[in-house]
Structure formats: structure tokens, C-alpha cells
Chain A
Amino acid sequence: QQQVKQSPQSLIVQKGGISIINCAYENTAFDYFPWYQQFPGKGPALLIAIRPDVSEKKEGRFTISFNKSAKQFSLHIMDSQPGDSATYFCAAEPYNTDKLIFGTGTRLQVFP
């Protein structure tokens, strides 16, 4: 069964710190890895995404690091802000299926 394992389940970071969320997958047939941010009462919003032909992608304070050989990818949030407090989901899409398989989510709390 195709799975994406996400850790930690919850994360508390001080303002200005770095938040790191990790995901691992088992199936090598994934070819798209997005991260979503979800606030309470809202749907997930696409944050940043990467394809396996690159090892890193940066957009503002958000960076995805991708390790194809280890089947792992992670989200780094630099200079974390209280407004970043939300639940973050990693996902992976099997090749040519348009079906996203999500991790179980990480609840991030950033304290001032």
C-alpha cells in the first residue's frame, strides 16, 4: 500500500526559529511532492511543491529538501512567525494518477 509518513505530529517553535517537518515515502513511483498549509475552518492551501528531478526548492521563507535515494522530503520554515501557526500536510502523487496521498499532518505552533 502506498503511504506517506509524516513527523512530528506536533511542533512548537519560538518566533524567529526554524520549523522542520519531515516526510518519508515507500513507493518509488511518486513524481510530485506538494506541501499544504491548513488553518482551522479552511481548506488546505498549496504552499510549495517539488518534483524528483531537483533536490531543493525555495520560495521565500519556505524550502523543500528532497532526498530521492532516502525517499524522504522535508519542509523548512525559516524565521517562523506566529502567523505560520497551522497544520501542514505533505503529499505525494503516484506517477500519472492525479491522486494525492497525504501525510497525517503536523500541527505547528509558533510562539512570540
Chain B
Amino acid sequence: EAGVTQSPTHLIKTRGQQATLRCSPISGHTSVYWYQQALGLGLQFLLWYDEGEERNRGNFPPRFSGRQFPNYSSELNVNALELEDSALYLCASSTDRNQPQHFGDGTRLSIL
């Protein structure tokens, strides 16, 4: 069974640009979660999508947004990039709410 896949592996942007990160959940999983793992910090919850709807949001500004497509894949968009947005962005999926979350290997976003 294929795990959660994320693309690209690494993304380099400059301040003020916009970034789009993609996630394909495990087959059969309908919930997708996004987390930010900044250097030296733990994982911070960003967003949760289930059945195409945003269900919960972490303490991040509105320039962090996303969506979930009918095939349950998801995009994370970050607008007006700032230097502190440099981090590993992890996507996780689960079969349903309140079920174990399984993570992909992340997208490393570097802001120059």
C-alpha cells in the first residue's frame, strides 16, 4: 500500500512569493491534515480537511490556506511568503475523524 505522498520534495522561494504544496493521501483515506515543522520546533497543526471541507484550523495567519479535491488529495497554499515560513511542511491522512494519522515525508520550503 502506497503511503502519503507529497510534492515537491523541496521548494525554494523568495520573500513575497506564493508557494503551493501538494499531498496525496493513502488510498481509502478521506481526511487530510497539514503540519508545519520549523527547525528546532515540534510539529504545529495547520489545517484539517475532511470530505472536501475545512474542519479545523491552527493558529496561523489567513495567508496559509488550502483545499481538498474530490479525489481527497490536497493543496496547501502559502501567500506573501516570509522568511519564518521556512520549514518542513508535513501532510498526514486518516481513514476518518478520530483515527490514527499517517504522515508523508514532507516538503522542505526554503525562503530566501
B101 touches A43 (CB 8 A): no
Chain A residue total in the interface (Cβ 8 A): 23
| Binary per-residue interface labels of chain A (8-33) against chain B in the complex, 1 for a CB within 8 Å, 0 otherwise | 00000000000000000000000010
B42 touches A45 (CB 8 A): no
C-alpha gap A67/B78 in the complex (Å): 40
A43 touches B104 (CB 8 A): yes
- From 82 to 96 in chain B, residues with beta carbon under 8 angstroms from any chain A beta carbon are 90, 92, 94
- Which residues on the B side are within 8 Å of A66 (C-beta)? none
CB closest chain-A residue, reference B40? A104
Interface presence of A54 (CB below 8 A): no
- Which residues on the A side are within 8 Å of B41 (C-beta)? 104
Chain B residue total in the interface (Cβ 8 A): 26
| Binary per-residue interface labels of chain A (55-91) against chain B in the complex, 1 for a CB within 8 Å, 0 otherwise | 0000000000000000000000000000000000101
Residue in B42, B92, B94, B102 whose beta carbon sits within 8 Å of that of A105 in the complex = B42
- Which residues on the A side are within 8 Å of B45 (C-beta)? 99-101
Interface presence of B4 (CB below 8 A): yes
Interface presence of B15 (CB below 8 A): no
Q: How far is the CB of B74 from chain A (nearest CB, A)?
A: 14
Residues of chain A touching chain B, judged by Cβ–Cβ distance below 8 Å, are 6, 32, 34, 36, 41-46, 49, 89, 91, 96-105
